[in-house]
Amino acid sequence: MRLPQFGIFAQGTVAHEFIEFDVRAGVDKAEAGRLITQLEQPAVSAGGVNLVLAFGPDLWRRLAPDELPAGLGPFREVIGLGGKGAPSTQHDAFVWISGSTRDIVFEQSRAAVKAVADVAVVATEQACFVHRDSRDLLGFIDGTKNPPVLEAPLAALVPAGEPGAGGSHVLVMRWIHDLALFETLPVSEQERVFGRTKSDSVEFSNEEKPATAHIARVEIEDEHGEELQIYRRSVPYMRLAEHGLYFVAFAAEPIRFERMLQRMFGLADGQRDRLTDFSRPVSGALYFAPPLTLLGLKEETLHEREEVLRGIPLFATCSAHDLTSIASRVQTREYPAGATLCTQGQPGDGFFVIVDGRAEARRDGSVLRSMGPGDFFGEIALIDEGPRTATVTSSTPLRCLMIGSSEFRDVLGQNADIAVRILDAVTRRLRGMLPPIDQG
């Protein structure tokens, strides 16, 4: 089984940076690509930060000629009805970094650019954010047509047995909104543009939905009448002079993107998406996000992590499949004696399990507990999304496994036994803080 890049499906991050790279003139593309794959290593993919790495068709062809998924090719310009369309602005590589805070994402984005500076230059960059309850700047909730997270891999990933299996085709487009023009419409007319209600995102019935409604234009089916889905991860960007949506979507085959764009711009049946009267794309590129195995996270590396996890009581009852999944999400961290791993009152961005060494947890300067191999900490801030409840420092040289915040929630959602063990440990700690009950 090939593991996909988990950042494709990671939820809960609010800060995003999208970077497109071009290989420097005179640099061998295959060599450049091999260096770019190192961005997937923990030195850049740090605590609480997700990194998705994708390659343009030409660069991926140089890197892995035996793993070319069907239909792989550059974005082709779309020339639609009424002068509407989408330009092609294809580049060599695409990096999406997301995290819990803007400062962390900025730092990791700088690290990524620095890591590949000798072989690649930044072609475009765009900082984005989550707006209110995942709404586009036009005021409608974005991504409501997405499949549930557990079903998303079927829509997003190349099927097993095919070249590039476990990877995903990525469509990247930057759209500029004309908010002033859209806001001249009454809400009822805005809803007809989208084909659903604005406040609670209820889709109109087929009888109510105009043929030019956005939802109607992006629905496509296979030859059996089954809907073909994509997995959208779009987020808004905002400057006073220019604002809109950074559209990012993943699919098992690129033809799905092509068919949707043909329908949006009136090339399929002469009906154009009315949303294109209020928003226009100024970029368009296709990339391939390979599975982790093809990025260099080799089986022996996974096996080593699995063996470490297997020796920790918290993971003792995990199946082999679960251990493989968790091993691909954890990062090994080493600290000298006296290092601060967590600071009381600061945001939490990781869950830690001690492999070797000892550490102390303190609150307001008082020692709460001493911890050694097999002990874990950092879970409370990730569960309630509040600040750290204690400061943790290493008493000796320390080696830990660290799981980022979104990966931590994924692990709990997929393994109830781990969730119960963590809950049991938290309960025992809380009970230990309470004064004894007087039985007299």
Delimit the domains of the chain by residue range: 6-293, 298-433
pLDDT, tens digit, for every residue of 14-27?
A: 999 999 999 999 99
367: which residues sit within 8 A by CB, 6+ positions away? 360, 361
**Dihedrals phi, psi of 401, to nearest 5 degrees:** -100, 135
Q: How high is the pLDDT of residue 417?
A: 76
Please write the tens of the pLDDT for every residue from 186-218. 999 999 999 999 999 999 999 999 999 999 999
Q: Which CATH number is 6-293's, of 3.90.1300.10, 3.30.70.3420, 1.10.150.120, 3.40.50.970?
A: 3.30.70.3420
- CA dist 156 and 93 (Å) reads 19
CA separation for the pair 164, 310 (Å, rounded): 30
What pLDDT is stored for residue 46 in this prediction? 47
Residues of the chain with pLDDT under 50: 42-43, 45-46, 298-300
Could you list the active site residues?
A: 142
Q: Can you read off the two tokens belonging to residue 347?
A: 């945001």
- Cβ–Cβ contacts within 10 Å for residue 84, how many? 17
pLDDT on residue 2: 78
Strand partners, 369: 361
Please tell me the distance from the alpha carbon of residue 417 to that of residue 188, in angstroms, as a whole number.
48
Give the model's pLDDT for residue 320: 79
CATH homologous superfamily of 298-433:
Jelly Rolls (2.60.120.10)
pTM: 0.73
